[in-house]
Amino acid sequence: MKLYNTLTKKTEELKPINPGHVNLYTCGPTVYNYAHIGNLRTYIFEDLLKRALLYEGFQVKHAMNITDVGHLVGDGDEGEDKLEVGAKREGKNPLDIAKFYKEKFFQDTDALNILRPDTVLPATQAIPEQVEIIKTLEQKGFTYIGEKAIYFDTSKLADYGKLSGQKLSEKKSGAREEVVLDPDKKHPADFALWFFLKGKYENHILHWASPWGEGFPGWHIECSAISRKILGQPFDIHCGGVDHIGTHHTNEIAQSEAAFGLPLANMWMHGEFLLVDSGRMGKSEGNFITLDTLKEKGFSPLDYRYMCLQAHYRTQLNFTWEGLHAAKNARYNLTLKAKELLVGNKIVTLDTSATRATEFGIKFANAISDDLNITQALAVAWEMLGSEISGSQKFDLLMQFDRIFGLRLEEVKNIKDTLVLTEDVEKLKQAREHARQKKDFAKSDELRKQIEELGYEVLDTPEGQKIKRKISL
């Protein structure tokens, strides 16, 4: 299986440390607000990766953190802790905020048919492990103490910034220009490992004892500590969105490598951004779209999942409502096709095209192992459905492919047969047949409407009218 590694900037063959087993770490959500569909695109990408690994026969151990402390507004070391912002906004304790949005996050990911990680650990439940790493860094001379925090000294690490390829001299403090430079820091790229309860953090609600006094951890240290605790170091694959490359993942690598003299992870994979109407999504832009927004507009979460299958994970995806409509229709057609194949399966077909079916299986697997080319895999699925192979082969292949697509196509087994008409519809069908024979088209149209109102669709073909029950997804 070939995957693109941000660290080496090459597409490489995956070679797990323990052959046949892949240890996978994905950066989890900051649980101070609803996840937006951009965040969810990243989790869908990671799910496709995990499903592809399972499909290829690897055993996967998947760990994820939950950021419930320390992630400051702006990703740098300025601004307020996002959890405290959420707590103030809603008049609650940060841990209640975290609990609420964590539950909501998993409701969303379940609805998107995203497989849950094997282990999920919130930052607040791994404080001793974080403190241990900071102690090690201090012993090894990688830290210095400022007014409000203990910092990582990036100048002590020769290859700091290797993930992004950005030189230390180019690195600005925080992602945005307007971020005020912290006078405490020797270099703008240095970052906080542990904040003290001083200055604006004097009243920080969550805090723990440490060798440097009461305080709370910086954002990046939680992932170094949690991934190491659960997966060991190094582990195989570390994922996140592209915005993590320059700061969060760069700093995770710096801390873990400086502390233990070992790589943190062998492969680093990053999902590209979702744009909305070609722009950034955010509260201030007024286009913060959640999964609930999609549901309110009559879409299923799986329509959005289908939409994400239509773009490679390393290309930006532009969200538009028209695009989502098209994805909804395509998913409807795919599910209907699966249903019809299932019904058709009851009729035994003579299997004459086993080789051709195998070819589709190979083409699909090749697409997947080519840096997760899901778009190509989806194209193979449609090509296969339009081919000459038997209905039962099509159905079996589609179910096999859906182990990666995750569109819950197996649920067609629970959908009533679309070609079986109720008595009412059967009567209307006959009446319409009559009207058409008498060329009474007004009557025929009226009857079509009545049939459609009962949840069926009517197709007039050269062989006569075909009526199918619409399935609701």
> Which residues contribute to the site for Zn ion (CB under 5 A)?
27, 223
- Out of 70, 234, 240, 406, name the contact with ligand AMP by CB under 6 A: 240
If the CB atoms of residues 72 and 385 are measured against ligand AMP, the closer one turns out to be 72
- Which of ligand AMP, Zn ion, none does residue 223 bind to, with CB < 5 to 8 Å depending on kind? Zn ion
Least distance CB 246 / ligand AMP (angstroms): 11
The counts of H helices and E strands in the chain are 14, 15
User: Given candidates 5, 6, 39, 418, which one binds ligand AMP under the rule CB under 6 A?
Assistant: 39
| Dist. CA 298–CA 287, nearest whole Å | 18
Query: Scanning residues 40 to 79, which ones bind ligand AMP (CB under 6 A)?
Result: 41-42, 67
Q: How far is the CB of 42 from Zn ion (least distance, A)?
A: 12
Give min distance, CB of 134 to ligand AMP, in A. Answer: 21
Q: Cβ closer to Zn ion: 5 or 256?
A: 256
Query: 409 with 442: CB under 8 angstroms?
Result: no
Q: Does residue number 228 form part of the binding site for ligand AMP (CB under 6 A)?
A: no
Residue 273 vs 306, nearer CB to ligand AMP: 273
Amino acid at 159: D
Q: Minimum Å distance from CB 462 to ligand AMP?
A: 48
268 beta partners: 238
Nearer to ligand AMP, 289 or 377 (CB): 289
- For position 274 contacting ligand AMP by CB under 6 A, the verdict is yes
Contacts of 286-294 with CB under 8 Å at 24 or more apart are 288/36, 289/36, 289/37, 289/319, 290/34, 290/35, 290/36, 290/37, 290/108, 291/35, 291/37, 291/40, 291/108, 291/111, 291/112, 292/34, 293/37, 294/37, 294/324
- CA–CA–CA angle 17, 21, 26 (5° rounding): 85
Burial of 113 (0-12, 13-18, 19+ CB in 10 A): middle
DSSP string of 389-403, one letter each residue: S-HHHHHHHHHHHHH
Give the H or E element holding residue 239. Answer: strand 235-241
468 exposure class (CB count in 10 Å sphere: 0-12, 13-18, 19+): middle
Q: Please say which residue, 27 or 327, places its beta carbon nearer to Zn ion.
A: 27
Which of 3, 4, 24, 38 binds ligand AMP (CB under 6 A)? It is 38
From ligand AMP, Zn ion, none, which one binds at residue 204 (CB under 5 to 8 Å depending on kind)? none
Site string for ligand AMP, 1-30 (x = CB under 6 A): --------------------------x-xx
Indicate which single residue of 16, 241, 246, 406 sits in contact with ligand AMP (rule: CB under 6 A): 241
Gap between the Cα atoms of 380 and 128, Å rounded: 49
Nearer to ligand AMP, 186 or 280 (CB): 280
Name the residue nearer to Zn ion (CB basis): 34 or 268: 268
Q: Which does 273 bind (CB under 5 to 8 A by kind): ligand AMP, Zn ion, none?
A: ligand AMP
**Which CB atom, from 38 or from 301, has the smaller least distance to ligand AMP?**
38
Amino acid in the structure at residue 287 = N
Nearer to Zn ion, 226 or 385 (CB): 226
Q: In the structure encoding, which two tokens stand for residue 397, read together?
A: 């292949």
Minimum distance, C-beta of residue 131 to ligand AMP, in the bound complex (Å): 22
Out of 184, 243, 292, 446, the residue judged to bind ligand AMP by CB under 6 A: 243
367, 377 Cβ separation under 8 angstroms: yes
Q: Which residues contact 76 (CB under 8 A, 6 or more apart)?
A: 173, 174, 175, 179, 191, 247
Q: Which stretch binds ligand AMP (CB under 6 A): 37-45, 149-157, 380-388, 443-451?
A: 37-45
Residue 47 beta carbon to ligand AMP: minimum distance, rounded to whole angstroms:
13
Q: Sort residue 270 into left (φ over 0), alpha (ψ -120 to 50) or beta.
A: beta
CA distances from 455 to 446, 450, 458, 466, 469 (A): 15, 9, 10, 14, 6
Q: Which residue has 């070992």 as its token pair?
A: 262
Should residue 281 be labelled a site residue for ligand AMP when binding is judged by CB under 6 A?
yes
**Shortest distance in whole angstroms from residue 219 CB to ligand AMP:** 9
Residue 471 three-state SS: coil
- Residue 245 CB, nearest approach to ligand AMP (Å): 9
Q: What are the residues binding ligand AMP (CB under 6 A)? A: 27, 29-30, 38-39, 41-42, 67, 240-241, 243-244, 271, 273-274, 281
